[in-house]
Amino acid sequence: MNHEELSALEASRVIAANLAHVDERVPAPWACPVCGEDRMDWLAWGDSDAVHCESCDSEYVPPMLAGQGEVVIDGTQAHPTD
């Protein structure tokens, strides 16, 4: 294997390692109701049921944890979910 082939192989491994994180997404009902962010790396779970969205800086409680099928955004119940 020559130097160019080795560099291409190394580059492929780096790309593959970075793409491995692409699939780390939450199911649609758990995504941010404000901006739709669903990447796990951008949704921070705290000690409570609230999730902080790093994309739009909002906090919400997913509908399954909020009860009554509603999303709680920044402490206020928002639109009902389907």
Instruction: Check pLDDT > 70 for residue 75.
Output: no
Three-point CA angle 47, 18, 20, nearest 5°: 70
Q: How far is CA 1 from the centre of its chain?
A: 40
Instruction: Give the chain's mean pLDDT.
Output: 75
Q: Where are the domains of the chain?
A: 25-80
pTM over 0.85: no
| pLDDT at position 81 over 50 | no
Helix (H) or strand (E) holding 71: strand 70-73
Q: How far apart are CA 64 and CA 79, in angstroms?
A: 14
Binning pLDDT at 50, 70 and 90, where does residue 53 land?
Answer: very high
Given a cut of 50, whether residue 80 has pLDDT beyond it is: no
Q: Please give the average per-residue pLDDT across 8-31, as a whole number.
A: 72
